[in-house]
Protein backbone atom coordinates (compact mmCIF):
# COMPACT_ATOMS: atom_id res chain seq x y z
CA UNK A 1 0.00 0.00 0.00
CA UNK A 2 1.31 3.42 -0.95
CA UNK A 3 -0.74 5.25 1.70
CA UNK A 4 -1.21 8.89 0.69
CA UNK A 5 0.50 10.05 -2.48
CA UNK A 6 0.87 13.60 -3.75
CA UNK A 7 2.00 15.01 -7.06
CA UNK A 8 4.04 16.95 -7.86
CA UNK A 9 6.75 16.99 -5.17
CA UNK A 10 8.06 20.40 -6.23
CA UNK A 11 6.61 23.17 -8.36
CA UNK A 12 7.60 26.70 -9.30
CA UNK A 13 4.93 29.02 -10.64
CA UNK A 14 4.82 32.60 -11.78
CA UNK A 15 2.28 34.95 -10.26
CA UNK A 16 -1.07 34.48 -11.96
CA UNK A 17 -0.47 30.96 -13.19
CA UNK A 18 -2.81 28.15 -12.21
CA UNK A 19 -2.13 24.62 -11.16
CA UNK A 20 -3.71 21.60 -9.50
CA UNK A 21 -2.14 19.55 -6.75
CA UNK A 22 -3.18 15.93 -6.84
CA UNK A 23 -3.71 13.65 -3.87
CA UNK A 24 -4.75 10.01 -3.70
CA UNK A 25 -5.08 7.50 -0.88
CA UNK A 26 -5.42 3.74 -1.04
CA UNK A 27 -6.56 3.11 2.54
CA UNK A 28 -10.30 3.36 1.77
CA UNK A 29 -10.53 6.39 4.05
CA UNK A 30 -13.65 8.51 4.07
CA UNK A 31 -12.13 11.86 5.03
CA UNK A 32 -9.44 13.82 3.23
CA UNK A 33 -7.72 17.13 3.95
CA UNK A 34 -5.45 19.78 2.50
CA UNK A 35 -3.07 21.72 4.74
CA UNK A 36 -0.39 24.29 4.18
CA UNK A 37 2.70 24.58 6.34
CA UNK A 38 4.55 27.86 6.71
CA UNK A 39 7.52 28.55 8.99
CA UNK A 40 6.42 29.22 12.56
CA UNK A 41 2.74 28.69 11.72
CA UNK A 42 2.28 24.97 12.13
CA UNK A 43 -0.18 23.32 9.76
CA UNK A 44 -3.27 25.20 8.73
CA UNK A 45 -6.29 23.53 7.20
CA UNK A 46 -7.25 24.82 3.76
CA UNK A 47 -10.17 22.56 2.85
CA UNK A 48 -11.42 19.18 3.89
CA UNK A 49 -13.83 16.53 2.70
CA UNK A 50 -15.50 14.61 5.49
CA UNK A 51 -16.88 12.08 3.01
CA UNK A 52 -17.15 11.54 -0.71
CA UNK A 53 -19.32 14.23 -2.25
CA UNK A 54 -18.78 16.85 0.45
CA UNK A 55 -16.20 19.59 0.87
CA UNK A 56 -15.86 22.33 3.46
CA UNK A 57 -13.65 25.32 4.07
CA UNK A 58 -10.94 25.21 6.65
CA UNK A 59 -9.01 28.00 8.29
CA UNK A 60 -7.36 29.49 5.16
CA UNK A 61 -9.48 28.71 2.05
CA UNK A 62 -9.07 31.98 0.14
CA UNK A 63 -7.40 31.53 -3.23
CA UNK A 64 -8.00 27.79 -3.38
CA UNK A 65 -10.61 25.37 -4.67
CA UNK A 66 -10.94 21.65 -4.15
CA UNK A 67 -12.56 18.68 -5.81
CA UNK A 68 -13.30 15.34 -4.20
CA UNK A 69 -13.15 13.39 -7.44
CA UNK A 70 -14.03 10.07 -5.84
CA UNK A 71 -13.34 8.33 -2.55
CA UNK A 72 -9.62 8.00 -3.35
CA UNK A 73 -8.78 11.39 -4.82
CA UNK A 74 -8.90 14.95 -3.52
CA UNK A 75 -7.34 17.74 -5.57
CA UNK A 76 -6.41 21.30 -4.67
CA UNK A 77 -6.47 24.03 -7.31
CA UNK A 78 -4.83 27.42 -7.31
CA UNK A 79 -6.61 29.47 -9.96
CA UNK A 80 -4.28 32.48 -9.93
CA UNK A 81 -1.19 31.84 -7.86
CA UNK A 82 0.19 34.58 -5.61
CA UNK A 83 3.55 34.80 -3.81
CA UNK A 84 1.65 34.44 -0.50
CA UNK A 85 0.79 30.90 -1.57
CA UNK A 86 4.42 29.87 -1.47
CA UNK A 87 4.32 27.05 1.05
CA UNK A 88 4.54 23.32 1.61
CA UNK A 89 1.21 21.64 0.97
CA UNK A 90 0.21 18.42 2.67
CA UNK A 91 -2.67 16.13 1.86
CA UNK A 92 -3.99 13.80 4.55
CA UNK A 93 -6.68 11.19 5.01
CA UNK A 94 -8.44 9.49 7.90
CA UNK A 95 -10.93 6.69 8.21
CA UNK A 96 -13.36 9.05 9.85
CA UNK A 97 -12.81 12.60 10.99
CA UNK A 98 -12.11 11.71 14.63
CA UNK A 99 -9.35 9.27 13.79
CA UNK A 100 -5.69 9.89 13.23
CA UNK A 101 -4.77 11.42 9.91
CA UNK A 102 -2.14 9.98 7.62
CA UNK A 103 -0.15 12.46 5.60
CA UNK A 104 1.34 12.48 2.15
CA UNK A 105 4.97 13.50 1.55
CA UNK A 106 4.10 17.11 0.73
CA UNK A 107 4.42 19.44 -2.25
CA UNK A 108 6.85 22.33 -2.04
CA UNK A 109 5.36 25.20 -4.05
CA UNK A 110 7.15 28.43 -4.87
CA UNK A 111 5.31 31.32 -6.50
CA UNK A 112 7.56 33.97 -8.00
CA UNK B 1 -8.24 32.20 20.92
CA UNK B 2 -5.50 29.73 20.17
CA UNK B 3 -6.84 26.26 20.73
CA UNK B 4 -3.54 24.42 20.94
CA UNK B 5 -0.61 26.13 22.56
CA UNK B 6 2.90 24.79 22.39
CA UNK B 7 4.70 27.48 24.34
CA UNK B 8 8.16 25.99 23.81
CA UNK B 9 9.37 26.79 20.29
CA UNK B 10 12.84 25.23 20.39
CA UNK B 11 14.46 22.79 22.80
CA UNK B 12 18.03 21.58 22.69
CA UNK B 13 19.26 18.65 24.80
CA UNK B 14 22.24 16.37 24.92
CA UNK B 15 21.73 12.75 24.02
CA UNK B 16 20.40 10.56 26.85
CA UNK B 17 18.72 13.47 28.58
CA UNK B 18 14.99 13.24 29.25
CA UNK B 19 12.86 15.95 27.64
CA UNK B 20 9.22 16.94 28.02
CA UNK B 21 7.26 18.73 25.30
CA UNK B 22 4.31 20.70 26.59
CA UNK B 23 0.88 21.01 25.01
CA UNK B 24 -2.05 23.00 26.38
CA UNK B 25 -5.39 22.95 24.63
CA UNK B 26 -8.68 24.79 24.82
CA UNK B 27 -12.10 23.39 23.99
CA UNK B 28 -15.70 23.62 25.12
CA UNK B 29 -16.55 20.17 23.82
CA UNK B 30 -16.72 17.24 26.22
CA UNK B 31 -15.78 14.83 23.45
CA UNK B 32 -12.51 15.55 21.73
CA UNK B 33 -9.31 13.90 20.60
CA UNK B 34 -5.69 14.85 21.08
CA UNK B 35 -2.78 13.85 18.89
CA UNK B 36 0.96 14.12 18.65
CA UNK B 37 2.80 14.08 15.32
CA UNK B 38 6.50 14.05 14.55
CA UNK B 39 8.08 15.79 11.56
CA UNK B 40 11.70 14.71 11.10
CA UNK B 41 14.12 16.73 8.94
CA UNK B 42 13.02 14.70 5.90
CA UNK B 43 9.68 16.52 6.11
CA UNK B 44 7.05 13.82 6.39
CA UNK B 45 4.50 13.87 9.20
CA UNK B 46 4.39 10.79 11.36
CA UNK B 47 1.47 9.97 13.66
CA UNK B 48 2.56 9.13 17.21
CA UNK B 49 -0.52 8.91 19.42
CA UNK B 50 -4.25 9.59 19.65
CA UNK B 51 -6.06 10.06 22.94
CA UNK B 52 -9.78 10.63 23.48
CA UNK B 53 -11.15 12.92 26.17
CA UNK B 54 -12.60 10.09 28.21
CA UNK B 55 -9.33 8.25 28.63
CA UNK B 56 -6.96 9.98 31.04
CA UNK B 57 -4.65 7.05 31.47
CA UNK B 58 -1.06 7.84 30.76
CA UNK B 59 0.51 5.93 27.93
CA UNK B 60 4.00 4.58 27.50
CA UNK B 61 5.50 3.31 24.29
CA UNK B 62 9.16 2.46 24.59
CA UNK B 63 11.02 5.68 25.37
CA UNK B 64 7.92 7.78 24.71
CA UNK B 65 5.27 8.58 27.29
CA UNK B 66 2.27 10.87 27.33
CA UNK B 67 0.60 12.57 30.28
CA UNK B 68 -3.00 13.67 29.71
CA UNK B 69 -4.53 15.86 32.42
CA UNK B 70 -8.00 17.27 31.81
CA UNK B 71 -7.80 19.37 34.97
CA UNK B 72 -5.04 21.45 33.43
CA UNK B 73 -6.03 20.90 29.77
CA UNK B 74 -2.61 19.51 29.04
CA UNK B 75 -1.29 16.63 26.99
CA UNK B 76 2.46 16.52 27.51
CA UNK B 77 4.95 14.28 25.76
CA UNK B 78 8.11 12.97 27.38
CA UNK B 79 11.03 11.34 25.62
CA UNK B 80 13.24 9.36 27.97
CA UNK B 81 16.93 8.94 27.20
CA UNK B 82 16.72 11.04 24.05
CA UNK B 83 18.59 10.05 20.91
CA UNK B 84 19.81 12.02 17.91
CA UNK B 85 17.08 10.37 15.82
CA UNK B 86 14.51 12.10 18.02
CA UNK B 87 15.53 15.45 16.49
CA UNK B 88 12.40 16.70 14.77
CA UNK B 89 9.52 19.12 14.99
CA UNK B 90 6.74 17.81 17.20
CA UNK B 91 3.15 18.93 16.79
CA UNK B 92 0.28 18.57 19.20
CA UNK B 93 -3.21 18.69 17.67
CA UNK B 94 -6.83 18.84 18.82
CA UNK B 95 -9.87 17.40 17.07
CA UNK B 96 -13.26 18.59 18.24
CA UNK B 97 -16.72 17.41 17.23
CA UNK B 98 -16.76 19.78 14.27
CA UNK B 99 -14.20 17.46 12.71
CA UNK B 100 -11.40 19.93 12.08
CA UNK B 101 -7.95 19.13 13.37
CA UNK B 102 -6.19 22.16 14.86
CA UNK B 103 -2.43 22.00 15.16
CA UNK B 104 -0.14 23.81 17.53
CA UNK B 105 2.78 25.70 16.02
CA UNK B 106 5.22 22.91 16.82
CA UNK B 107 8.31 22.45 18.96
CA UNK B 108 11.69 21.98 17.33
CA UNK B 109 13.70 19.44 19.31
CA UNK B 110 17.42 19.16 18.71
CA UNK B 111 19.28 16.29 20.33
CA UNK B 112 23.05 16.77 20.29
CA UNK B 113 25.42 13.82 20.44
Residue-wise pLDDT for A17-76, tens only, equals 999 999 999 999 999 999 999 988 889 999 999 888 899 999 899 999 999 989 999 999
Nearest CA in chain A to B8: A40
Give the pLDDT score at B1. 53
Q: What is the pLDDT of residues B34-78, one digit of tens each?
A: 999 999 999 999 999 999 999 888 888 899 999 999 999 999 999
- Under 8 Å between Cβ of B25 and B103: no
Q: Which of B9, B44, B50 comes nearest A103 by C-beta?
A: B44
Q: Please give the sequence-ordered ranges of beta strands (E in DSSP) within chain A, or none if there are none.
A: 4-7, 10-13, 19-25, 31-38, 42-49, 56-57, 64-68, 74-78, 87-94, 102-103, 107-111
Q: Do B95 and A43 touch (CB under 8 A)?
A: no
Q: What is the Cα–Cα distance from A109 to B66, expressed in whole angstroms?
A: 35
Q: Which residues of B touch A41 (CB under 8 A)?
A: 105
Give the pLDDT score at B89. 97
Q: Is the dihedral of CA B3, B53, B87, B46 positive or negative?
A: negative
Give the pLDDT score at B2. 58
Q: Which residues of A touch B88 (CB under 8 A)?
A: none
Q: Which of B44, B47, B106 comes nearest A42 by C-beta?
A: B106
Q: What is the Cα–Cα distance from B78 to A60, expressed in whole angstroms?
A: 32
Give the pLDDT score at B57. 84
Start-to-end C-alpha separation, chain A:
36
Q: Which of B50, B91, B100 comes nearest A48 by C-beta?
A: B100
- A33 at the B interface (CB within 8 A)? yes
- Under 8 Å between Cβ of A32 and A23: yes
Give the pLDDT score at B99. 61
Give the pLDDT score at A48. 93
Give the pLDDT score at B55. 87
Q: Do B103 and A44 touch (CB under 8 A)?
A: yes
- A84 at the B interface (CB within 8 A)? no
Assign residue B7 a region (left: φ > 0; alpha: ψ between -120 and 50; beta: otherwise): alpha
- B106 at the A interface (CB within 8 A)? yes
Q: Which residues of B touch A59 (CB under 8 A)?
A: 100
In the stretch 29-88 of chain B, residues with CB closer than 8 A to chain A read 33, 35, 37, 43-45, 47, 50
pLDDT above 90 as % of chain B: 79
Give the pLDDT score at B38. 97
Give the pLDDT score at B86. 97
- Under 8 Å between Cβ of A104 and A21: no
Q: Do A45 and B43 touch (CB under 8 A)?
A: no
Amino acid sequence: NAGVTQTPKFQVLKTGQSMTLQCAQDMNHNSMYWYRQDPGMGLRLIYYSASEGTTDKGEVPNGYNVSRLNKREFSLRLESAAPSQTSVYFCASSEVSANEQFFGPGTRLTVL
Amino acid sequence: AQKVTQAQTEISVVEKEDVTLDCVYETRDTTYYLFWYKQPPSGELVFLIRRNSFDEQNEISGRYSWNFQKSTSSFNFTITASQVVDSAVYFCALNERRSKLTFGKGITLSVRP
